[in-house]
Amino acid sequence: MQKFDKLTAVAAPLPMLNVDTDMIIPKDYLKTIKRTGLGKGLFSEMRYNEDGSENPDFVLNKPAYRGAEILVAGDNFGCGSSREHAPWALLDFGIRCVISTSFADIFYNNAFKNGILPIVVSKEDLDKLMDDAERGANATISVDLEAQEISGPDGGVVKFDIDPFKKHCLLNGLDEIGLSLEKARHIDRHEQRIAEERPWH
């Protein structure tokens, strides 16, 4: 998993409430178990017209936001069905951080497991960050995970809380397999001891 420490990038505003996982990645894209290639399906029902052409009014189709790596979203982001394809699609598009006032629990945990930082802020702070994100090409925000700070383009700083264990995993690029491999030395020693004590196994 890719590490997350500091990120300075364009932030796209998505001030919709209750963005569910079917909106993030519609069910038509769930046939694959690959984590790559899903970026094209991200928000596809809003990004594309019925004829397959791009909807110029959707934020991620606007020139200023095509390279956005941060999403500033409305309350209850990632609600709906449990769908790991949702963080896969965000990551494949290039989104590394989502900022909201709240997230659905399953999406929130899946985001961390896939190298995306979901940040919970107050309504007041979200309003400021949404205003920053609406500046188009000047909508650059910096996120410092170690310091737990978000810096806006005018120098304003928003502090955020995060679970220390989840922070450790993101800073070190550790998913569940990576966490197990951190203990590889102990596992090997245990297996060797078992083999010596119970050679008949």
Considering its fold, how many domains does the chain have in total? Answer: 1
**CATH code assigned at 136:** 3.20.19.10
Range of 131's domain? 6-174
Residue 15 in domain = yes
| Cα dihedral 155/66/45/82 (nearest 10) | -60
Indicate the pTM of the whole model.
0.86
Within a domain: 187: no
Q: Divide the 201 residues of the chain into consecutive groups of 10 and give the mean pLDDT of each group.
A: 95 97 90 80 95 96 96 97 91 97 96 96 97 90 98 94 96 72 58 68 58
What contacts 45, CB < 8 A, 6 or more positions away?
23, 26
**Please, what is the end-to-end C-alpha distance for the chain in angstroms?**
35
54 found inside a domain: yes
Q: Is residue 201 part of a domain?
A: no
Q: Is 123 left (phi over 0), alpha (psi -120 to 50) or beta?
A: alpha
CA distance 109 to 97: 13
